Every structure is written in structure tokens, then in C-alpha cells.
Amino acid sequence: MIVPITALYAGVLTLIVGVLGFQVGSTRSRVGISILHGDDMDLAEKIRRHANFTENVPLALILMAVLELNGTSAGLLHGLGIVLVLARIAHPIGLHHDNMRHPLRAVGAGGTFLVTLIAALTAIWQFVSR
């Protein structure tokens, strides 16, 4: 079976993580720090932006693919995908070491959590109701 809707969002999200990874790599090259971040908070922020993405997005995409394979409506899948993309754009913009309460950080974290929660509950419901 194919999962074209999930593939679309996986592709878009891969472009985003590529940008985040490039920012880490280019900053590491510029400041000459190979491992960790020393005391460079700009590098630390970029590392966390990239790491947070890679910690959260794969599970959401796996759940979306499971839902798509289980025949979930295209509308729900696109809704989850759009929210996930917007959340993963907002989060790194709002993630700053000196501002824990930046609204875009909350939008990004909350949106990602909401997508993952809805997808997980839908997958559980699909199993229980069959």
C-alpha cells in the first residue's frame, strides 16, 4: 500500500529539518565547535531547534502513515499534516534560551503534541472499534 498524503508531509517536513540541520552545521563551522556547544548560546539554540524536531516529528509521521494505511479520511490526514508543518515552523522561531514563554514556542510545542495525541487516539480507536 502507498501513503501519498503522509509522503507529502514527510517531504515538506524533511525540507524543514534540512534547514535546521544546515543552520547547526554552518554555525559549528563558523565558531569551530565540533561537539556540544561550549558556551555559545546561539549554537545551543540551533542544536535544540534541530533536536526537538527530530525528537518529535518521526512519531507523528509514523502515526499519520498508520492512519492512512488504516483508511483514515484525507481531510483528517491533511488537517494533521498542515498543523504539524505549521507547528514545526513556529517552534524553532519561538525557541530562545532567554525567553521560555515565547508564544511561537508554545504554538509549536502545543501543535505538535495535539497532532500526535489526535493521531494516537485515532489509531487506538480504529483498533478498538474494528
Per residue in 77-116, pLDDT tens? 999 999 999 999 999 999 999 999 999 999 999 999 999 9
CB 11 within 8 A of CB 79: no
pLDDT given at position 37: 83
Spatial distance between the Cα atoms of 96 and 117, rounded to a whole number of angstroms: 25
Q: What is the residue extent of each domain of the chain? A: 4-128
pLDDT given at position 121: 98
Percent pLDDT > 90 in the chain is 94
Does the pLDDT value for residue 12 go beyond 90?
A: yes
CB 55 within 8 A of CB 93: no
**DSSP per-residue string spanning 46-64:** HHHHHHHHHHHHHHHHHHH
* Fold classification of 4-128 (topology level): Four Helix Bundle (Hemerythrin (Met), subunit A) (1.20.120)
Spatial distance between the Cα atoms of 44 and 57, rounded to a whole number of angstroms: 20
Read off the pLDDT of residues 48-61 as tens digits, 9 standing for 90 and up: 999 999 999 999 99
